[in-house]
Amino acid sequence: GQQLNQSPQSMFIQEGEDVSMNCTSSSIFNTWLWYKQDPGEGPVLLIALYKAGELTSNGRLTAQFGITRKDSFLNISASIPSDVGIYFCAGEPNGSGNTGKLIFGQGTTLQVKP
């Protein structure tokens, strides 16, 4: 169905390490978005992807829209303490009945040890 499986659920890494997380689904998505959420705040958009195979960077962040349109990954290079937070993938499912609707993954909690 229209579920997104995000992994890993949590990560505890050393400052300076690279991080990778991904989302998969059995359904096709038209758009993939990656967000970061700090406690008590709304999600902040990091990267938006619109085409299968698209690879986009935003500073130390890189994300890709899977070629099958059923998955996406986010990489963070050279992590720093302020990268701490919860990262969510979100996608707009394919199909006319899904206009304006985002499905969210369960989130990846990232902790960075200085």
Partner 1 sequence: KAGVTQTPRYLIKTRGQQVTLSCSPISGHRSVSWYQQTPGQGLQFLFEYFSETQRNKGNFPGRFSGRQFSNSRSEMNVSTLELGDSALYLCASSRETNTEAFFGQGTRLTVV
Contact call for residue 63 and partner 1 (CB under 8 A)? no
Q: Which stretch binds partner 1 (CB under 8 A): 20-28, 62-70, 76-84, 89-97?
A: 89-97
For residue 113, what are the β-bridge partners? Answer: 14
b/e per residue 61-97 (b: at least 16 CB within 10 A): bbbbbbeebbbbbbebeebeeebebbbbbbbbbeeee
Residue 33 Cβ vs partner 1, minimum distance, rounded to whole Å: 7
Applying CB under 8 A, what is the total number of residues that bind partner 1? 26
Q: With respect to partner 1, which residue has the nearer C-beta, 7 or 106?
A: 106
Contact call for residue 106 and partner 1 (CB under 8 A)? yes
Q: How far is residue 2's CA from residue 24's CA, in Å, rounded to a whole number?
A: 10
Q: With respect to partner 1, which residue has the nearer C-beta, 79 or 110?
A: 110
- Phi, psi (degrees; rounded to nearest 5) at 98: -115, 15
Residues in the site for partner 1, rule: CB under 8 A?
Answer: 30-31, 33, 35, 40-45, 48, 50, 88, 90, 92, 97-107
